Structure 1
Amino acid sequence: MSAPLSPTALLTALRTEGVTVVEHPGWRSNNRDHKGRWGPVHGVMIHHTVTTGTAASVALCFQGHSALPGPLCHGVIAKDGTVHLVGNGRANHAGSGDADVLKAVAAGTAAPAPDRSGTDGNTHFYGFECVNLGDGRDPWPEAQLEAMARASAALCRAHGWSARSVIGHKEWTRAKIDPRGFTMTAFRTRVTARLSTTPEPKPAPRPAPKPTVPAPALQPFPGTAWFRERPSSPVVTAMGTRLVAVGCSAYTEGPGPQWTDADRASYARWQRRLGYTGADADGWPGATSWTALKVPYTA
């Protein structure tokens, strides 16, 4: 069993591993500890954000959104390889997953494919959100992959873990596909290579940004799975308002915060406007069509 690293120990481990770190104002006390236990920790979980842009991604992961309060991870890893620390303690990133996977990670053995849920991963995993659309086409720059491996290795080294303690979200639950665009087997090979080396001197700290949490101009894509759960959220209202504005309304009243069949019918009109047909115009939002709709950010 491993106790979570303190904020100072986490920062030291990352910088000792050669990671360039930015401390987001307030990250040391930003957590969801009032909702459940944090620790013992057994591993590191890798995610993709389904967003673009460092500032918007960091802001979203720090504060979360109406359906999922922040922090949504412990660190956001940008395309340029910078790790932005946004949380310390329990974070809303892993959710429910397979107890057998957790046992394997804790034992340092190969994890089975997940086939059940019911175990709280937010208690036991550090989480890194890596900026990527997760569509299989958005590239993973070498600087970003290297920083992801170094950050994972830093935690493994600090706790005495092997690379088998590093898993992807999709290896924790069948309900997720992240990270997409590389294999976790290849990624763990990177981490193993890092752990076989002597850590490099830490880079000079970057100055902290101004103590504000800027809201992105446009709403990051919440994910298709989020819409399939038929949420009630201001994000749905903002989406519907945009669909009306672009002439794709199928509403007889509203739009409102509760996802309805009218929202899906309206979104299907938008998809057809973009040239989608068949199953690609089924009314469930996707990352590309969502970006094109330009839904204003909703706190």
Structure 2
Amino acid sequence: MAVPLTADAFVRALRAEGVRVREHPDWKTRNRNHKGRWGPVHGVMLHHTAGRDSLALCRDGTQSLPGPLCIGLIGKDGTVQLLGHGRTNHAGNGSAALLAAVRADADVPTGPGPDAVDGNAHFYGFEIENLGDGRDPYPAAQLDAAERVSAAVCRAHGWPAGSVVAHKEWTRRKIDPSFSMAEMRGRVATRLRTAPTTPTRPPQKPPQEPVYEPFPGAAFFAPGRHSPLITQVGRRLVAEGCGRYTIGPGPRWTDADRASYAAWQRKLGYSGSDADGVPGRASWDRLRIPRTS
């Protein structure tokens, strides 16, 4: 049982463990504490996002599940995006047996029990950027960051590595994260036996000019807009197998361009009004329009 770390103590613990963090605006006060208690806390819960470009979702959530959906999002490069602090919508109801085992420093039970306990009140939640399909890799830097954030929280509270659990161990409803938790707990246990260390980083390269066109804003794509950039967009959509052109693509924004872009949005997993053919920043960044100027 433990009182949650303050936001300042939490980020100090992460940095002391060598975690590379990015602090988003207002993360220290963004939470769901008005919906229920935060604490006492008993452990760390790890998740995978089941998708890419998950930052906005983890920060803001959805209409039915408001954000933040985690305290931190662990990217492929090992950077931990701090999005909230306190109660977050990451765990939901889960196993009383697992919670009892964590509190008693006992082994994690085999198979979660009934969904009987509110995990949002008792665990620090971290999302890990991964499709969770068994084919999307977890780079070494990302697993190292997951190990470090888990160890940092455990070290700050005096918890053993057994306090690090998976969403899939909490409830039968989930399968995340899609890696071995026994191995992750072993890594955390090894780290906790030594003093914190900072990861070795390669020499910093001078900043380079962006190689892709920056997002011009949704308003740029008004019907009839004429620009060489629109031709470039169309060529990339065709290259991605999303072209819906009978003629072109060309420099004028037309219904064919919008239909092609909607196909791209659907390819990324968007649907409904989120696949309306109007470019948004997340889908634009993934299309990677070569810079022409």
TM-score past 0.5 threshold: yes
- Report whether the alignment pairs 1:86 with 2:63: no
CA distance in 2, matches of 1:127, 1:293: 24
Contact 1:96 1:117 in 2 (8 A): yes
Deviation digits for residues 50-69 of structure 1 (CA, Å, limit 9, x no counterpart) = 121xxx32221111111110
Instruction: State the percentage of identical aligned residues.
Output: 57
Aligned to 1:40: 40
Q: Which runs of 5+ in 2 are unaligned?
A: 202-214, 219-243, 245-264, 281-293
- Report whether the alignment pairs 1:297 with 2:251: no
Contact 1:95 1:121 in 2 (8 A): yes
Moved more, 137-146 or 58-67: 58-67
Deviation digits for residues 78-112 of structure 1 (CA, Å, limit 9, x no counterpart) = 00000010011100000000111001011111121
Moved over 6 A (4+): none
Structure showing greater relative contact order (alpha-carbon pairs closer than 8 Å, 6 or more residues apart): 1
Q: Aligned pair count?
A: 214
- Report whether the alignment pairs 1:114 with 2:104: no
- Report whether the alignment pairs 1:138 with 2:115: no
3-state SS, counterpart of residue 41 of structure 2: coil
CA distance in 1, matches of 2:5, 2:68: 17
Q: For residues 96 and 290 of structure 1, do their structure 2 counterparts lie closer, same or farther at Cα, with a shift above 3 Å needed?
A: farther
Contact 2:92 2:119 in 1 (8 A): yes
Q: Under a length normalisation based on structure 1, what TM-score does the superposition of the two structures give? A: 0.68
Deviation digits for residues 186-239 of structure 1 (CA, Å, limit 9, x no counterpart) = 1101111111121125999xxxxxxxxx9xx9xxxxxxxxxxxxxxxxxxxxxx
- Report whether the alignment pairs 1:70 with 2:74: no
CA distance in 2, matches of 1:145, 1:290: 30
Aligned to 2:123: 125
CA distance in 2, matches of 1:184, 1:82: 21
CA distance in 2, matches of 1:293, 1:161: 39
- RMSD in angstroms over aligned alpha carbons? 2.4
Q: Under a length normalisation based on structure 2, what TM-score does the superposition of the two structures give? A: 0.69
5 Å-filtered alignment, 1:1-299, equals 1-52=1-52, 56-112=53-109, 113-180=111-178, 182-200=179-197, 291=267, 294-295=270-271, 297=274
Q: Which runs of 5+ in 1 are unaligned?
A: 205-213, 218-245, 247-288
CA distance in 2, matches of 1:73, 1:293: 21
